[in-house]
Amino acid sequence: MKFLLVHGSWHDGDAFSAVADKLRAQSHDVYTPTIAGHGKGADKAVNHADCTASIVRYIRDNDLDDFVLLGHSYGGTIISKVVEQVADRVRRLVFWNAFVLNDGESLLDAVPPHYREMFTSLAKSSPDNTVSMPFPVWREAFVNDADLETARATYALLSPEPFQPFADKLDLKGFYEIVKGGRVPCSYINATEDAALPQGPDFGWHPRMSNRLGLFRLVQVSGSHELLFTAPDVLAEAIIRAGRD
Amino acid sequence: MKFLLVHGSWHDGDAFSAVADKLRAQSHDVYTPTIAGHGKGADKAVNHADCTASIVRYIRDNDLDDFVLLGHSYGGTIISKVVEQVADRVRRLVFWNAFVLNDGESLLDAVPPHYREMFTSLAKSSPDNTVSMPFPVWREAFVNDADLETARATYALLSPEPFQPFADKLDLKGFYEIVKGGRVPCSYINATEDAALPQGPDFGWHPRMSNRLGLFRLVQVSGSHELLFTAPDVLAEAIIRAGRD
Amino acid sequence: MKFLLVHGSWHDGDAFSAVADKLRAQSHDVYTPTIAGHGKGADKAVNHADCTASIVRYIRDNDLDDFVLLGHSYGGTIISKVVEQVADRVRRLVFWNAFVLNDGESLLDAVPPHYREMFTSLAKSSPDNTVSMPFPVWREAFVNDADLETARATYALLSPEPFQPFADKLDLKGFYEIVKGGRVPCSYINATEDAALPQGPDFGWHPRMSNRLGLFRLVQVSGSHELLFTAPDVLAEAIIRAGRD
């Protein structure tokens, strides 16, 4: 199979390197671009459309076709907009603890109030309208399955997240036509210890986000929001089960 | 132990054959009747009372006593009515991702609107008031833990489901007297990746259905709605843990 | 690490002995006091403040410092009040399928009506205002992962629970200042087959109780409410992952 993996906030494409190695060891092709405005040293002055455009451009530049398009976390908002432009190239969409926004929503609309306030306030106090991940949030809510050493080592890989894409309201009519019409099938990978969003019906990933897809394939595994760091082998197997026909 | 396993919609008793083999290998007695109106070649003109009567008849004809009565999915509605007639013969009820309807409800009342519409419309367009399982629903929502080959092979075992039993409203006062009065103890087996009903408080199997039993024993295992095909050993162990005193 | 483990209702400190052995085998220090009014032969005429005071006294008498304070079930209400008096000595709070009450609530306020009625009625009909655990509730809802022999053997270890601490309304303003202010970090261990409280958003342990902590670390494992009896090795590993920095 061919996989295009789209990372989440604070990450860049290299965050997938251990997972990509596991997938390549099973003879799969793996692409891990970095979204515009993401990664260390990048110009963070981007909006959501810029982020989407950068992945669409990557797909066209590499002439990728017949691939599984996966989005992690914030990356779910990106693949939702990307597929609108390249639906014929996508074999399946895979959301991995990822946002599936309602039409017209922003990511900020979908997170609990305490995150909305924290992101907004951190962006305002930053020099470049970005949100830096506070270490205690990373350690307790994102890599809760890691030891402290791993928590620190992976924290060092993060970079500030542009705030504007969180605030942009997304027109998702085209996305929902594609997935509800069965034009591109969907899977949702849920890690059962992911508490990056508070679990439960009000703010959790699954089934709140996943059920918006209509018919979809559920794959569940143990672990935190950051399986790509804490258990790349588990994540790679989940991606294969989610991505196959 | 002695087990009577009642299958769900689109299935027949043979669907349990791998599970029955696993149970028999551990010296348990296993009975796997086919519900009236079910299976290939059967006369599909049955209502819910006919289905119930066929299992009660099977129990009496075989003079079964002191057995664990398990129902899968739609089979939960059958064992709820069967136990009203043979409570003294039943050692324990086991619901495996099965409907536990409220008194006066039909199965159609308990499923999400998109299933209600799909079942009704498929039945209307059928020659014999039956519902055929669409392959994409089977593959994504029922055997989400299988590979495509297994999905196809098991799909070939299905047969159209009579619609009338889905629509029949069930008087379950006797059932609730039996289970709430503690006359027959209950267990609920929940497979955590079962998305045949959308997971979550509104339409999910567990805890929506299970909590209706009052005091019950919860057994959870990984897997889809179709563990009897995809992991019969896991299901057999769950049945033993659910069925023991 | 140093652990102080506070047991739940019907139990005493010895209930943790298998878990303590596992933790000590990994060079951790473990303390397992019995709450006032608990255990066989104890004077059951205690209120919640007496229970709290007995654990605070134990900590001071043993001059315990820099320890992980864990509470199981009802023990969650105890550690919430204990930490108000000894916050500087506590490295982390760990709630294991434990009550995290809202400010001003009693335990009775947080359980489903059928438990409230059962506890109240059992206390009234007891000679000493205590609640004895009914065996069917223990077997089906508390040790659902055990065989009957283990269910019986562990039932024999229980003793009647004083009712008054269930009814006492707790001032938890100090507790919430400590945990929401980040003064003492928190973890929540959830056993996924714990049905001692009915699972689901209305009455379940997690995420209903856990989300009240604000930022916390989630650790999940398979098993019932009584992992300390049914899988002490699994619980010990969960305690280590929950308790580490």
How far is the C-alpha of C144 from the C-alpha of C146, rounded, in Å? 6
Q: What is the mean pLDDT of chain A?
A: 98
User: Which parts of chain B sit beneath pLDDT 70?
Assistant: none
Size of interface B-C (CB pairs under 8 A): 44
Which chain B residues are within 8 Å of C222, Cβ to Cβ? Answer: 220
Which chain A residues are within 8 Å of B195, Cβ to Cβ? Answer: 216-218
Instruction: Say yes or no for a CB contact (<8 Å) between C199 and B206.
Output: yes
Token reading at B1? 């132990």
Q: Which residue, chain included where needed, has tokens 């000595």?
A: C89
What DSSP character marks residue B214? Answer: S
Report the gap between the CA of A39 and the closest CA in chain B (Å). 35
* Whole-number pLDDT of residue C194: 98
* pLDDT digit string, tens, across residues A133-150: 999 999 999 999 999 999
Q: Which of A146, A148, A160, A129 is nearest to A193 (CA)?
A: A146
Token reading at C78? 């105890």
Residues 6+ apart with CB under 8 A from C121: none
Burial class (CB in 10 A: 0-12, 13-18, 19+), A170: buried
Which chain C residues are within 8 Å of A195, Cβ to Cβ? Answer: 216-218
DSSP state letters, C54-96: HHHHHHHHTT--SEEEEEETTHHHHHHHHHHHHGGGEEEEEEE
**Per-domain residue ranges for chain C?**
2-243
Half-sphere exposure of B177 (CA within 13 A, CB side): 8
Work out the average pLDDT over C100-128: 98
Strand segments, DSSP code E, in A11-52 are: 29-31
CA terminus-to-terminus distance, chain C: 10
Half-sphere exposure of A229 (CA within 13 A, CB side): 28
The amino acid occupying position C227 is L
B113 prior amide bond cis, ω within 30: no
Report the gap between the CA of A216 and the closest CA in chain B (Å). 6
pTM: 0.98
Instruction: Report the CATH architecture of B2-243.
Output: 3-Layer(aba) Sandwich (3.40)
CB C96, CB C209: distance < 8 Å: no
* Whole-number pLDDT of residue C237: 98
Q: Give how far Cα B228 sits from Cα of A124, B8, B21, B140, B194, Å.
A: 55, 11, 11, 16, 12
Which chain A residues are within 8 Å of C210, Cβ to Cβ? Answer: 199
* pLDDT digit string, tens, across residues C193-240: 999 999 999 999 999 999 999 999 999 999 999 999 999 999 999 999
Report the gap between the CA of B223 and the closest CA in chain C (Å). 14
* ipTM of predicted complex: 0.97
CB atoms within 10 A of CB A181: 10
Q: Mapping DSSP to helix (H, G, I), strand (E, B) and coil, where does residue A156 land?
A: coil
Give the chains touching B; criterion: ≥3 Cβ pairs < 8 Å: A, C
* Whole-number pLDDT of residue A8: 98
Instruction: Say yes or no for a CB contact (<8 Å) between C218 and A193.
Output: yes
Give the chains touching A; criterion: ≥3 Cβ pairs < 8 Å: B, C
How far is the C-alpha of B33 from the C-alpha of B12, rounded, in Å? 8
The residues of B carrying an active-site annotation are 73
* Whole-number pLDDT of residue C230: 98
Q: Which of A187, A207, A215 sits opposite B200 (nearest CB)?
A: A207
How far is the C-alpha of A215 from the C-alpha of C76, rounded, in Å? 40
* pLDDT digit string, tens, across residues C83-99: 999 999 999 999 999 99
Report the gap between the CA of A142 and the closest CA in chain B (Å). 22
Give the chains touching C; criterion: ≥3 Cβ pairs < 8 Å: A, B
**For C75, phi and psi rounded to 5 degrees?**
-60, -20
Which chain B residues are within 8 Å of C201, Cβ to Cβ? Answer: 201
Percent of chain C topping pLDDT 90: 100
Instruction: Say yes or no for a CB contact (<8 Å) between A244 and B147.
Output: yes
CB A76, CB A105: distance < 8 Å: no
Instruction: Say yes or no for a CB contact (<8 Å) between C220 and A147.
Output: no
Instruction: Say yes or no for a CB contact (<8 Å) between A193 and C241.
Output: no
Token reading at A94? 């895979």
Report the gap between the CA of A242 and the closest CA in chain B (Å). 9
In terms of CA atoms, which chain C residue is nearest residue A140?
A: C217
Percent of chain A topping pLDDT 90: 100
Query: Choosing among B148, B193, B224, B226, which should be mutated to test the A contact, i.e. which has the most A CBs within 10 A?
Result: B193
Instruction: Say yes or no for a CB contact (<8 Å) between C144 and B218.
Output: yes
Instruction: Say yes or no for a CB contact (<8 Å) between A114 and C214.
Output: yes
* Whole-number pLDDT of residue B200: 97
* pLDDT digit string, tens, across residues C154-175: 999 999 999 999 999 999 999 9
Instruction: Say yes or no for a CB contact (<8 Å) between B141 and A182.
Output: no
B232 prior amide bond cis, ω within 30: no
Q: Which residue, chain included where needed, has tokens 């010296």?
A: B27
Q: Give how far Cα A179 sits from Cα of A80, B205, B223, Å.
A: 10, 25, 24
Q: Which of A159, A168, A129, A153 is nearest to A38 (CA)?
A: A159
CA terminus-to-terminus distance, chain B: 10
The residues of C carrying an active-site annotation are 73
The model's confidence at residue C21, banded by pLDDT at 50, 70 and 90, is: very high
Instruction: Say yes or no for a CB contact (<8 Å) between C208 and A222.
Output: no
CA terminus-to-terminus distance, chain A: 10
In terms of CA atoms, which chain B residue is nearest residue A216?
A: B140
The model's confidence at residue C39, banded by pLDDT at 50, 70 and 90, is: very high
* Whole-number pLDDT of residue A163: 98
* pLDDT digit string, tens, across residues A43-85: 999 999 999 999 999 999 999 999 999 999 999 999 999 999 9
